[in-house]
Amino acid sequence: MLLTVFAAFAAAAVAPVLHRATGRRGATILAVVAAGITMYFAQAVGDLPRVERIDWAPALGLDLSFRLDGLSRLFALLITGIGSLILLYSGPYMAGHEFAGRLLALLLAFLGSMLGLVLAGNVLTLYVFWELTSVTSYLLIGFEHERPRARAAALQALIVTTTGGLAMLAGLVLLGQMAGSYDLAVIAGRAAALPADPRYPAVVVLVLAGAFTKSAQFPFHFWLPNAMEAPTPVSAYLHSSTMVKAGVYLLARLSPVLGGTALWFWSVSAAGAVTMIVGAAFALAQTEFKRILAYSTVSALGLITLLIGIGSDAAADAALAFLLAHAFYKGALFLVAGIVSHETGEKSVEKVGGLAGKMPMTAAAALLAALSMAGLPPFVGFVGKELAIEAALGAGSAAWVFAGLTVATGALLAGVAGAVGVAPFFAGPMRPAIAHEGPAALWIGPLVLGGLALCAGLAPGWTIGPLVESASAAVRGTAAGAGHASLGLWHGFTPTLMLGLTALVIGAAFYASRDRYRAAFAGWPEGASGSAAYAWAIDALQRIAYAQTRFLQGGSLRRYLRVTLGTAVVLIGTRLAGVELPDLSSGWRDLRLHEALLVASVGLAAATTTVSRSRLGAVAALGVVGYGVALIFVQFGAPDLAMTQFVIETLTVLLLVFALYRMPPKIPGKRRGWRWLDMAVAGAGGVMMTLLVLMALDVQIGASIAEYFLAHSLPDGHGRNVVNVILVDFRGADTMGEITVLGLAATGVYALLKLVPRDAP
């Protein structure tokens, strides 16, 4: 199982090379790899759950643990199965594209990340893969990186999903602390005690923030339609059938842990209900193929979220059956949309019509998918819709509201299905004239998915039945096999059937009047809520960044010094307040004449530095201060320090002289007020440093460490110079860090020096 994740990443690593070596066949080979992984999960029926574990950082409770149960298996099959169809499709779709190999690599890297996410048996592992899917999604949306719109959409998706992801991390860490373990199985075992914990509401809110942003729930839905800037295979894969379902997966996974409370029920189901109706309403108003599909995906995700929120057994079955149905038809429709725009050059449903004659295979796939989406029997979409309505009817006090909204959504989506999957192929005269059928590798994927939608609908009991049942058992938190998912086509003349038929009839009306509907919607600001708030927040962030940069990074060295010194004085000073000074009265008696003279000359030189009107004079005086300090080191038996100080001082003076060489010779005068302020800041800095050093004299930090160094320097470090042994051996890792910083700083200085314009003085 672990091997499958590694295999996907390994395939991603070799994808560009393979593509270069084999050309278009590369995509086919990679599709076979993905199909192989699908086979693994298809045969992994018995002895679930399976667990594999690699210790990572055991001290932190962090391990790469993977767990395969019914829910993971359903998702893994979707991810790898659709993934292989997408890879197959990408070959001809991206043919001749400069970076086709990169796209394949990213798709496989995403496949591996997504697989890791659904197999994770530990919330921290889950989080790592969760963010990996966000990153690969970012790279894939911005794949055509030369278009500013693609870059902006990629960044927006990344910011929205990772902001939610960070909140989720906080929630998962809290959850881990509450349950005393980060292992999902252990957490699930302690689920009963969780709702009573005072931290429970915070966990729910934080985790939902992650799930809702990832699965594009209202009001965070706006990034998903914008993500349609990605190449079509990416939209079909990430942004309809897999990645956006990660949030739903998380909800389903945590439903037995966090569910069952009023807070969970209302927040999850309300968010889902609003999202599904808003998404469906916007979907019908669009004219671009991919935007229609994106909004209908938002709507479908809303429905799944609603069902998970309702949380009954029937709702769990319905959520998973609908999830499968949606993956089939939406994946197919996206791929169809890609073929149409690839072979006609048109992106709008209004610009094409009657394509069935020229593109029979594509039209067949589109028809199968659209009928399933509309919820017509005997397609799996019908099965999913029936289960959903039934689950909504059983949702207690809110039953009629949820059922009504579900029917309305079903009606709108039926209209959308007609607009996007039927009208372009079967309505109106054939246009545009250049339309032609694409190669088999393009239409085989959607045709397979459409066929699956039909087969799964004809015999749901023995196709998707077992899959849904074992997944649903995991969501309900019961043992597999105890469930009794009633997947079937015909249940008699039930209220559910009547509601489903009502939705179809209204849907037909929506389809017939879709032009008027679009016209009515034309003036509406699309996705007004979320995207406006996003734009405002990003704008505010930039304003704050500019303001604080102007304040802190003004470019004037004096201001830098004032801010740095002033901050240090305030921060350290407040900590030092109240600490007693050591008794210094006895120290003065040993002071000898030459020592006193040395200290006096250092003081004099320091004073000269501050009053000198010539830069060169100031630098020379500063050099005297440095050498004087070095002499003090010599006096008190610190030869290492003294030696370093001498050389550093020499080099510093040299550097300063050369730097001053490029500046005007006189120090420009300052206004009186600033002079006083600078004096105060400098004086305070000096006083604080003096106090700090004096107090440091008195601090006893367990003598053992110094003794340890002295005792072990020669036998363990092979050196009598303890200072040096500490630097290169005992605390070598510190030195490593310091020299790295030194090297980076020098590189930065070099860059700044080379930045000076040629005509500067």
- DSSP 8-state symbol, 195: G
Residue 668 C-beta: closest distance to another protein, Å: 22
Q: Are 566 and 682 in contact (CB under 8 A)?
A: no
Residue 288 or 649: the one with the smaller Cβ distance to another protein is 649
CA distance 140 to 229: 9
CA dihedral over 483, 487, 492, 497, signed as positive or negative: positive
Q: 246 with 214: CB under 8 angstroms?
A: yes
- Least distance to another protein, CB of residue 713, Å: 10
Q: Which two tokens stand for residue 209?
A: 């923030």
How far apart, in Å, are the Cα atoms of 273 and each of 205, 221, 268, 305, 372?
A: 17, 13, 9, 8, 21
CB of 540 to another protein, least distance (A): 39
Inter-residue contact 456 to 449 (CB < 8 Å): no
Min CB(612)–another protein separation in Å? 22
Site residues for another protein per CB under 8 A? 639-640, 643-644, 647-648, 650-651, 654-655, 658-659, 716-721, 723-725, 727-729, 732-733, 735-736, 739-740, 742-743, 745-747, 749-750, 753-754
> Which residues pair with residue 55 across a beta bridge?
63
Pick the closest to residue 622 from 660, 584, 671, 591 (CA basis): 660
Q: Which is nearer to another protein, 337 or 722 (CB)?
A: 722
Residue 392 to residues 270, 308, 470, Cα–Cα distance (Å): 12, 11, 22
Q: Which one, 595 or 729, has the nearer CB to another protein?
A: 729
Helix (H) or strand (E) holding 356: none
Q: Minimum distance between the CB of residue 133 and another protein, rounded to whole angstroms?
A: 32
Note the Cα 227 to chain centre separation in Å: 14
| Closest CB to another protein among residues 599, 723 | 723
* Cβ closest to another protein, residue 69 vs residue 649: 649
Greatest Cα-to-Cα distance within the chain, rounded to the nearest angstrom: 112
All residues at 6 or more sequence positions from 662 whose CB lies less than 8 Å from its CB, including other chains: 760, 761
Least distance from another protein to the Cβ atom of residue 714, Å = 9
Express the helix, strand and coil content of the chain in percent, nearest 5 each.
75, 5, 20
Q: Which is nearer to another protein, 539 or 738 (CB)?
A: 738
Q: What's the rounded Cα separation, in Å, for the pair 314 and 307?
A: 9
Q: How many CB atoms lie within 10 A of CB 186?
A: 14
Distance CA 269, CA 212 (A): 12
Q: Checking DSSP bridges between strand 50-57 and strand 62-68, what pairing results, if any? A: antiparallel
Shorter beta-carbon distance to another protein: residue 539 or 716: 716
Indicate the residue among 639 and 683 with the shorter CB distance to another protein: 639
Between 614 and 747, CB nearer to another protein: 747
Give me the least distance between CB of 649 and another protein, in Å please: 10
For 515, half-sphere exposure in the C-beta direction (CA atoms, 13 angstrom radius) is 4
* Shortest Cβ 757–another protein spacing (Å): 14
Distance CA 108, CA 234 (A): 11
The CB-of-545 to another protein minimum distance in angstroms stands at 30
- Give 610 or 740: the residue with its C-beta nearer to another protein: 740
Least distance to another protein, CB of residue 745, Å:
8
167, 232 in Cβ contact below 8 A? no
Query: For another protein, which is the closer residue by CB, 501 or 742?
Result: 742
**Contact indicator for 624, 611 with CB cutoff of 8 Å:** no
For 229, what's the count of Cα atoms within 13 Å in the CB-facing half-sphere? 24
| Residue in the block written with tokens 């320090």 | 641
Report DSSP letters for 529-542, one per residue. Answer: HHHHHHHHHHHHHH
Nearer to another protein, 495 or 743 (CB): 743
Least separation, in Å, of the C-beta of 720 and another protein? 4
Exposed/middle/buried for residue 108 (C-beta within 10 Å: 0-12, 13-18, 19+) = buried
Question: In the bound complex, what is the minimum distance in angstroms from residue 726's beta carbon to another protein?
Answer: 10
Of 589 and 754, which has the nearer Cβ to another protein?
754
Closest to another protein by CB, 122 vs 645, is 645
Residue 758 to residues 557, 601, 736, 746, 755, Cα–Cα distance (Å): 22, 42, 36, 21, 9
Closest approach of Cβ 606 to another protein, in Å?
A: 23
672 vs 718, which CB is nearer to another protein?
718
Report the C-alpha gap between 661 and 470 in whole angstroms: 79
Closest C-alpha among 284, 275, 281, 241 to residue 417: 284
**DSSP 8-state assignment for residue 120:** B
Give 369-387 as a DSSP string. HHHHHHT-TTSHHHHHHHH
Give whichever of 525 and 637 is closer to another protein, judged by the CB atom.
637
Smallest distance from another protein to CB 746, Å: 4
Q: How far apart are CA 727 and CA 735, in angstroms?
A: 6
Nearer residue to another protein within complex by CB, 526 or 640: 640
Cβ 644 to another protein shortest distance, Å: 5
Q: Write down the least CB distance from residue 365 to another protein, Å.
A: 55
Q: What is the Cα 588 distance to its own chain's centre? A: 63
Name the nearest CA neighbour of 418 among 314, 329, 309, 535: 329
Q: Report the alpha-carbon distance of residue 599 to residue 591 in Å, rounded.
A: 11
Q: Give me the least distance between CB of 718 and another protein, in Å please.
A: 5
